[in-house]
Amino acid sequence: AQTVTQSQPEMSVQEAETVTLSCTYDTSESDYYLFWYKQPPSRQMILVIRQEAYKQQNATENRFSVNFQKAAKSFSLKISDSQLGDAAMYFCAYRKGATNKLIFGTGTLLAVQP
Amino acid sequence: GAVVSQHPSWVICKSGTSVKIECRSLDFQATTMFWYRQFPKQSLMLMATSNEGSKATYEQGVEKDKFLINHASLTLSTLTVTSAHPEDSSFYICSARPGGSSQETQYFGPGTRLLVL
């Protein structure tokens, strides 16, 4: 069975600094997708970034980028120039290519210090 | 684009009553919608997958007679918690996927907080 592990329950970063959130996953599939979702205090899940497993290039979205290491089954999220609004719970998620089911990690609570 | 709404945003009910939660895709058609449950400080757990015009597919351990799902149109899915009990108190989140491709991303609603007294 596929699993997603986030080993950092909580992280803290100074405003304007860079922080990296870790995520590892376990799968025997070759076709899959990986996601980072942000859940702020409002509880609204927001898609931060998405990576297709077949793409070697790491996805980037403005200040957010990933380090996708397929062989190591690692999918970390880097947030550059952290802002107060980045404070939230971040969930890493996996989806097998031909299925609907998103499997979420346990989340990392990110605090941004002014 | 890709906005999903849920109604109500929170509900308090007495034990034994039924509660209906609506999930709507506002600016796209969603062949498939998903219902998740999230306990405090925990991750999201998929409860069921809802396909327009057909029966929902429930995850293992989810009682289909307890959590009734109806996906009557391409923009609306409903979750009814029947005979709710305090242990059903939770945060329920829906998501919707545009179009019919499994490659599309899911977009989440803002969630519904249910408290059963």
Structure token digits, residue B21? 């939660």
CB B105 within 8 Å of CB A47:
yes
Q: Answer yes or no: is pLDDT of B15 > 60.
A: yes
Instruction: Judge residue A57's burial from the number of C-beta atoms within 10 Å of its C-beta, 0-12 exposed, 13-18 middle, 19 or more buried.
Output: exposed
pLDDT level of residue A16 (50, 70, 90 thresholds): very high
CA distance B7 to A49: 27
pLDDT at B58: 95
> Of A78, A25, A77, nearest to A53 (Cα)?
A25
Structure token digits, residue A110? 């990110």
| Pairwise pLDDT comparison (A101 vs A12), residue with the higher score | A12
Within 8 A of B44 by CB-CB distance, chain A residues are: 45, 91, 102, 104
Instruction: Judge residue A16's burial from the number of C-beta atoms within 10 Å of its C-beta, 0-12 exposed, 13-18 middle, 19 or more buried.
Output: exposed
Q: Answer yes or no: is pLDDT of B18 > 60.
A: yes
Q: Residue B110: which of A35, A42, A105 has the nearest Cβ?
A: A42
Residue that is written with structure tokens 């057909």 in the block: B54
Q: Cβ of A102 and B34 within 8 Å?
A: yes
Structure token digits, residue B105? 């991303």
Q: Residue A102: which of B46, B91, B103 has the nearest Cβ?
A: B46
A41 touches chain B (CB under 8 A): no
Q: Answer yes or no: is pLDDT of A21 > 80.
A: yes
Q: Mean pLDDT for chain B?
A: 90
Q: Which residues of A, range 63-82, sit inside 8 Å of B by Cβ?
A: none
Q: Mean pLDDT for chain A?
A: 94
Percentages of chain A per state (helix, strand, coil), in multiples of 5: 5, 55, 45
Q: Answer yes or no: is pLDDT of B44 > 80.
A: yes
Distance (Å) of CA A61 to CA A38, A49, A66, B63, B90: 13, 7, 9, 39, 32
Average pLDDT score over residue span A12-17: 98
CA distance A77 to A88: 14
Within 8 A of B49 by CB-CB distance, chain A residues are: 100-101
B48 touches chain A (CB under 8 A): no
CB B110 within 8 Å of CB B9:
yes
